[in-house]
Amino acid sequence: MTPIRKLAFVVNDPKFGASELADDLIAIARAAGVSVVRTGAFPVANDFLKGQDACCVIGGDGTLLGVACMAARAGVPIIGVNRGSLGFLTTFSADDIRECLPILLTGDFQINHRALLSCSIGDGPHDLALNDVLIKAEVNSRIVRLEVGADGELVTDYDCDGLIFATPTGSTAYNLSAGGPLIHPSAEVIALTPICPHTLSNRSIIFRAGVALEVRNLSPNITIQATIDGQRDYRVSGDQVVTITQAAERLPLVQRRDHAHFSVVRTKLKWAGGVIGRGVN
């Protein structure tokens, strides 16, 4: 990869140790002759990533999600550093990044291009989701009836607390908590998982990446909303249709060359069982 000469830092300063870690990394970058800009403001200014070679996000996965759409549109790779809890996206620990940053700055890394969802309400503009689009009642604890179509064909109606449309990246987020499947991040699919469906046969559905999904509200006197990555809410009025497709944009995510996806999954999810003696690392 091309060496990083301009590096943006997005720092969730209230996170324990995030500000101090940022100071250390900025010092390392400047010592290597790298130009640095830093922000702790959220939301991040629209032009913050303009002209940058990469963006180092220090916080949790939520912090990274807040920058993901901007980075995807700008084509700026993200280096995710975890100062939160699980950290599926922010895969570098504080110790890792202190050791690895000088190497990354030389261009010695790999980029994993993560799929995103494009979501629009009626004729409104599109928003991008790295993890998921959640459709539920605007007022919590209301059961909704939602009709789902795929490429113009009726899939089914759901009586449920809501629907999660997840990318492979987002399969380890709300989708997993709702009983949905784990999906390898390179898989070209979209997962639909109902939340607490009132029919036992309603289970997750995996759609091909090129599908055009449509959701209609069949609930009398109930307003629904679409929530993007748990951060942005859109009110769905009357007979407006929510359209979800795979986006043209991809998020470039920086990883070490020896990054192993299932090693991360085993660690983060605390999977039981061992791999000793099975020839698997």
Which of 47, 53, 61, 229 is an active site residue? 61
The dihedral over CA atoms of 158, 180, 233, 123, expressed in degrees to the nearest 10, equals -60
CB-based contacts of 22: which residues, under 8 Å, 6+ apart?
A: 9, 11, 38, 58
258 catalytic per annotation: no
Backbone angles phi, psi at 23, to 5 degrees: -60, -45
Q: Quick count: other Cβ atoms within 10 Å of Cβ 8?
A: 25
Residue linked to tokens 């990555």: 229
Burial readout 21-42 (b: 16 or more C-beta within 10 A, e: otherwise): bbeebbebbeeeebebbbebee
For residue 179, give the 3-state DSSP assignment. Answer: coil
> Terminal CA-to-CA distance of the chain, rounded, Å?
26
d(CA 244, CA 134): 11
**Closest to 164 in 3D by CA, of 150, 181, 185:** 181
d(CA 27, CA 125): 40
Phi-psi map region of 50: left, alpha, beta (phi>0 left; psi -120 to 50 alpha): beta
Query: Annotated catalytic sites, by residue?
Result: 61
